[in-house]
C-alpha cells in the first residue's frame, strides 16, 4: 500500500510540473505578545491564481508542525507547494492559502505559558496579520486547522478553545496529554512543556464541557487520524471516546503506521482535500 501511494504521489507531482504553480514564501509577522522577540517567522503558500487574480480572496488552512520541527517541514518533507499545485490542477482541491506557523524556535510550545503566550499570539496577532496582509477570506467556513504530533494536539486544543472560528480540525497523531516518554528524559525544558500540555488537555475539556460548548463543538468537522503503532494511539482513542460520550460527530481513522512522515504525507493530502469541501461546498 505504501509503495502504491508513493507511486501515485510521484505521478501527481510530475503532472503538477506542467500546471500553473503556486509558491511558498517565508515571512515575519510582528508581535508584542511573545516575550523577547519583536517578530515571528512563518511560511505561507499562495495559490496559482493569487497574483493573476488581484480581486479574488481565498480560504485559509493553518498547518501546525510537530515538536522539534519547524514551519519549513511541510515543504521540506511534505512537498507542500507541489502537492497543492497537483491537487488544485486535478480539481481535487480548491485554491487556498496555507499558513505554517513556527512553534519550535525560542520555546517549543503552541500554548500559553507564563513566559511564552503562543496561543494568544496565534489568535490575536497571527490570524489578524494573515487576514489583513493577504487576500484571505474571514469567517469560520473559510478557516481550517490541521497538524501533526505536537501540532495535531494544538489543532485539537485550538478547536476546543475556539470552535466558532474553524470549520474543520484534522488531527494527525496528535500529542494530546502528558506521556512518560523516554526521549524526553534529560531535557530540562520537558517538564514545563509537559505540564502546559496537560493543563490544556482536550480530553478533559470535552468530557467536562458545558452544554453550550458542546453545541459549538458539534459545528466543527473533527477528523482524528493515527497509526496503529503510534505512541499517541491511546490518547487519541480517549479523545474519540470523549467526543462520543458528548454525541459530537467525528471521523476516526486508524491505519497501519507509526509516528513518522510516511503516515503524515497521505494525511496532509487528505486534510487539504477535506478542508476544500468546507471552503467550496
Task: Write out the three cell numbers for 198.
Answer: 496537560
Averaged pLDDT, 223-232: 98
Task: Write out the three cell numbers for 59.
Answer: 480560504
Q: How confident is the model at residue 29 (pLDDT cuts 50, 70, 90)?
A: very high
The pLDDT score that the predictor gives to residue 35 is 95
To the nearest 10 degrees (0 to 180), the angle between helices 261-279 and 2-16 is 60
The pLDDT score that the predictor gives to residue 182 is 63
Share of residues in the chain with pLDDT > 70 (%)? 90
Indicate whether 19 pLDDT > 90.
Answer: no
Task: Write out the three cell numbers for 45.
Answer: 503558500
Q: Are 57 and 49 in contact (CB under 8 A)?
A: no
Per the DSSP assignment, residues forming a β-bridge with 255 are: 227
Beta strands in 73-220 (DSSP E): 97-101, 112-113, 116-117, 143-148, 168-172
The pLDDT score that the predictor gives to residue 15 is 52
Indicate whether 131 pLDDT > 60.
Answer: yes
Q: Which residues of 207-226 are buried (b: 16+ CB within 10 A; e: fewer)?
A: eebeeebeebbeebbbbbbb
The pLDDT score that the predictor gives to residue 16 is 47
How far is CA 124 from each of CA 31, 33, 45, 63, 131, rounded to the nearest angstrom? 9, 9, 21, 17, 11
Averaged pLDDT, 73-88: 97
Q: What is the pTM of this model?
A: 0.91
Q: Which domains does the chain have, with CATH numbers?
A: 22-177+184-279 (3.40.50.1820)
H or E element: which one contains 26? strand 23-30
The pLDDT score that the predictor gives to residue 3 is 64
Averaged pLDDT, 116-145: 97
Amino acid at each position: 500500500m505504501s509503495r502504491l501511494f508513493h507511486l501515485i504521489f510521484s505521478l501527481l507531482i510530475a503532472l503538477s510540473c506542467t500546471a500553473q504553480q503556486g509558491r511558498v514564501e517565508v515571512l515575519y509577522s510582528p508581535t508584542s505578545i511573545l516575550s523577547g522577540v519583536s517578530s515571528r517567522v512563518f511560511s505561507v503558500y499562495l495559490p496559482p491564481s493569487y497574483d493573476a487574480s488581484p480581486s479574488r480572496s481565498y480560504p485559509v488552512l493553518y498547518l501546525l508542525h510537530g515538536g522539534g520541527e519547524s514551519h519549513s517541514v511541510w515543504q521540506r518533507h511534505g512537498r507542500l507547494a507541489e502537492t497543492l499545485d497537483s491537487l488544485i490542477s486535478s480539481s481535487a482541491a480548491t485554491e487556498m492559502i496555507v499558513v505554517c506557523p513556527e512553534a519550535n524556535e525560542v520555546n517549543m510550545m503552541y500554548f500559553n505559558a507564563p513566559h511564552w503566550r503562543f496561543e494568544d499570539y496565534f489568535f490575536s496577532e497571527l490570524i489578524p496579520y494573515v487576514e489583513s496582509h493577504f487576500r484571505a477570506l474571514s469567517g469560520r467556513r473559510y478557516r481550517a486547522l490541521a497538524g501533526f504530533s505536537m501540532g495535531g494536539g494544538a489543532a485539537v486544543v485550538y478547536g476546543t478553545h475556539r470552535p466558532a472560528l474553524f470549520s474543520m480540525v484534522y488531527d494527525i497523531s496528535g500529542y494530546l496529554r502528558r506521556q512518560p516518554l523516554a526521549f524526553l528524559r534529560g531535557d530540562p525544558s520537558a517538564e514545563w512543556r509537559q505540564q502546559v500540555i496537560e493543563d490544556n488537555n482536550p480530553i478533559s475539556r470535552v468530557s467536562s464541557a458545558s452544554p453550550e460548548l458542546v453545541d459549538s463543538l458539534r459545528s466543527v468537522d473533527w477528523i482524528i487520524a493515527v497509526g496503529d503503532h503510534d505512541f499517541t494511539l491511546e490518547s487519541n482513542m480517549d479523545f474519540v471516546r470523549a467526543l462520543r460520550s458528548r454525541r459530537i460527530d467525528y471521523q476516526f481513522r486508524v491505519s497501519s503506521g507509526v509516528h513518522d512522515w510516511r503516515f503524515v504525507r497521505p494525511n496532509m493530502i487528505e486534510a487539504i482535500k477535506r478542508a476544500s469541501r468546507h471552503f467550496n461546498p
